[in-house]
Amino acid sequence: MVGTFDLKLIRPNKGVVKNVVQRNAIDTSSNGLLSKIIGNFSSSSGNANIYLNPNFGHNCFTSEEGNSGVVGKSGIIATDAGVLGTYSGQGGDTEQDTTLCFNVSQTEDEASATKARWKAQVQWINSEFEATISSYEGTNNYITDFELGQSLNVYLDGFDISFASVTLSGSDRIQPALNDIIDITWTIEVS
């Protein structure tokens, strides 16, 4: 299996200010993407069509009614995005929300016999978050860790079924300015 992570950082009135394309790690655990594909091959006509509509309604958990609004939903997340708000944790404690949910599905899934593609984006804009966010440009703050999967777990930090992940390092890390759009196209191909 081959995975390709394509991230564009888009600045209004300037266009694409950064483009990062990387091969990514495919989750091959017993409940990861490889297991889903093998199960699908054995129960259908040998077709890799793995469908996943990004279905987060908001950029962060606190925009919905309680944390249950995003638990069990699927799509793309960034797990180290800084403090975006707070939510009530499992024991009723207040937890910091540091996971960015990509909430705009650009197109329907593009699945074929050997390929699945997911596209989503999010805007780094104050009105979308509970906490006041600021520009990361020129600071020591970066967004580096991304994950694609199905069914966000109750800890709000990963998926019950992880399809793929990527960690950006060095000059590939991104520092969104206010109003920037983070646009991701994630393709996984069975070869």
Confidence (pLDDT) at 164: 87
Residue 9 has pLDDT above 90, yes or no: yes
Say what the pLDDT of residue 15 is: 96
The residue to which tokens 């995003």 are assigned: 70
Q: What is the DSSP letter of 2?
A: E
Q: Cα–Cα distances in Å, from 87 out to 21, 58, 92?
A: 33, 14, 9
> What mean pLDDT, rounded, does the chain reach?
81
Q: What is the largest CA-CA distance in the chain?
A: 52
pLDDT value at position 112? 63
Return the pLDDT at 56. Answer: 79
